Structure 1
Amino acid sequence: SIATEIAGNHYTVLAPTLTLGISKRRTTLDCDALHLHSMEQDMQEIDWWVNWLTGKGYKKIILMGHSSGAVQIVSYASSYKHKELTKLIALSLIPLSDNNSSHSRDSNKKALKMIESNDKDIHNFTLTYCIENYSAPASQYMSYAQWDSARILKTLKSIRLPKQTIQGSVDISNSYNLIDDIANTGTRVNIIEGADHFFGSGTELELYDVIMQGITEK
């Protein structure tokens, strides 16, 4: 794994699995699983681990996350300030909601109406790759869905830490404008040719090399 490779270069690596509302979670949550977690809870968990590291005496912490995890670290770095945080590395950073998608627009409209009427029932929404089958209460869903491209770009621009995003060329074939916009926030953008969202198809070594360059550069 990437974590093992980085640790093999004499870096301390902490790779916690966020609970997403499930104690001792070890597997991913399917779209149609019950999602009772929120972005706010995710940030609190990240902060717990950052405080744990600083309590152990670590002075330089780099946050790295993949896909929705990349959005979580962007959200965290904009809300929590620690002098020990030195950099963000976001892998396959994508908006969690797409205003150009009728599925997303309809889901957001439904969720906001539910929140306004204090409806706390479970409904199906659209979130990233989960099309009309993300099962959650409206408020929990909106805590993620509000992270569209506009909010991500605005937040990246506000973060003063060094920032880097690593994207696969296959994953961004329809998103080059977004990649240009990310670069304009002061975020370093690396594109790995031939890589998909999960950096498969033999691109793992190049991903590792780019990550290590990001970790070691001053």
Structure 2
Amino acid sequence: MRGFLRQALPFAASVLLLFALSARAEPVRLVQDGRGLDGELALAGGKSIKDGLLILVHGTLAHSRMEIMRALQQGLAQRDVSTLAITLSLGISDRKGMYDCAQPHRHSNAQALREIDAWVAWAQQQGAASIGILGHSRGGAQVAHYAASAGDRLNPAIKKIVLVAPMTFDLAAAAQDYKAHYGADLNAALAKAEAMVRAGKGDELLTDTDFLYCPKAKVAAASFVDYHATDGRNDAPSQLAGIKRPVLLVAAGGDEVVRNLPQRLAGVAKTAGFRLVTVDGADHMFQDLYGEDLADAIASFWTE
């Protein structure tokens, strides 16, 4: 063991030194809708924002410093790709870390899209002529929805879209998972929330309601309805045909979270610039060396 440590420690130090030499990471902040938004900018060695920037959007209730975001920034910087990992506010100014389930949920997909748009505008203001947007998991569905809903009006500075193990959504399957995880009836909770929205009470809170990863949460009726909408906003594959940019979708071959992605992709129309790469054996977070394969695929797509 000691011999292994003597060999491993210099290797780990060299990896850290390589990242330090290949990227200059620094926090950045802007204000949008009265809330502070935070991000982490990692410029590849010898690069500036003007050379291009890939904006990274995290998954459900997560943040810019989660492991996959940090690994992506490091791996892409080593491949000469500069990135900005953002933290969606989820309604909380200068939010840090995972969303606190004790906090009432009043966030929405539309709010996430406005914040992505604010970061795109920020990148342009810094001189970025070439911008890409990458979303992981739920962030992938939100990025796909952002790009597809804009259609031909999508900001011309946005050149490419990357979806990493993006979320799919089917209400029947979601109800089964909800029952298995929480022992509760999703359809009953959704019907109650929808009735409140119809009555003009969408801002009122449902209490002791299981929501996303938060058991017995407080959640606005409108938020509950939004995150279970079946119009495509929560489902990346259904958005693909409407995206007017080249799209790279990287699937995790051993994904234990988005389990039906291959089947969903087989049955939907896709943009002419669509490309699929599957990393065999990777889990939803592309841990360990699978992250290197992920970074290789993204860097190749971004720089070609």
Scaled by the length of structure 2, what TM-score is found? 0.62
Q: Is the 8 A contact 1:61 1:86 kept in 2?
A: yes
Judge conservation of contact 1:170–1:196 (CA < 8 Å) in 2. yes
**Cα distance in 2 for residues equivalent to 1:99 and 1:48:** 34
CA separation in 1, counterparts of 2:300 and 2:187?
39
Match of 1:111 in 2: 193
2:167 equivalent among 79, 84, 94: 94
In structure 1, the partner of 2:300 is 213
Q: Indicate the residue corresponding to 1:11 in structure 2.
A: 81
Cα distance in 1 for residues equivalent to 2:224 and 2:170:
10
Residue matched to 1:57 = 127
Structure 1 gap segments, 5+ residues each: none
- Counting strand residues as a fraction of each chain, which structure ranks higher? 2
CA 1:125–1:112 in structure 2 vs 1: closer, same or farther (change >3 Å)? farther
- Alignment of 1:203 onto 2:290: yes
Q: Does 1:145 align with 2:193?
A: no
1:185 aligns with 2:270: yes
Tell me by how many angstroms 1:142 deviates.
2.4
Q: Which moved more, 1:130-139 or 1:68-77?
A: 130-139
CA displacement, residues 89-117 of structure 1 (integer Å, 9 cap, x when unaligned): 01111125533343454443332122112
Count of aligned pairs between the two proteins: 214
Distance 1:139 1:97, change over 3 A: farther
Moved more, 22-31 or 41-50: 22-31
CA displacement, residues 152-194 of structure 1 (integer Å, 9 cap, x when unaligned):
4342211111112111112155443113235x42332221111
User: What residue number does 2:95 align with?
Assistant: 25
- Structure with max Cα Rg: 2
User: Structure 2 counterpart of 1:110, which letter?
Assistant: K
Supply the AA of the counterpart residue of 1:181: G
C-alpha distance in 2 between matches for 1:195 and 1:30: 28
- Three-state SS of the structure 2 residue aligned to 1:156 is helix
SS in 2 for 1:63: strand
Q: Secondary structure at the match of 1:145?
A: coil
1: CA distance, partners of 2:139 / 2:112: 9
Write the mapping of 1:162-177 to structure 2, written as runs, cut at 5 A.
Answer: 162-171=246-255, 172-177=258-263
Alpha-carbon offset, residue 36 of structure 1: 1.3
The one of 216, 233, 243 aligned to 1:159: 243
Q: Report the residue type matching 2:242 in the other structure.
A: S
Q: Deviations over 1:16-46 (max 9, x none)?
A: 2111111111211155642211111111111
Residue pair 2:161, 2:247 contacting (<8 A) in 1 also: yes
User: Does the alignment pair 1:83 with 2:168?
Assistant: no
Structure 1 residues 158 and 109: alpha-carbon distance in aligned structure 2, compared to 1, 3 A threshold: same
CA distance in 2, matches of 1:11, 1:94: 25
User: In the aligned structure 2, how far is the partner of 1:88 from the partner of 1:134?
Assistant: 33
Q: Is the 8 A contact 2:193 2:225 kept in 1?
A: yes
**What residue identity is the alignment partner of 2:173?**
N
Q: TM-score, normalised by structure 1?
A: 0.84
- Letter of the aligned partner of 2:275 in structure 1? R
Distance in 2, matches of 1:192 and 1:32, equals 36
Measured on the aligned residues, the alpha-carbon RMSD in Å equals: 2.5
Q: Give the direction of change, closer, same or farther, for the CA distance of 1:139–1:175 in structure 2 (3 Å limit).
A: same
Structure 2: gaps of 5 or more residues:
1-70, 179-185
Look up the SS of the partner of 2:134 in the other structure: strand
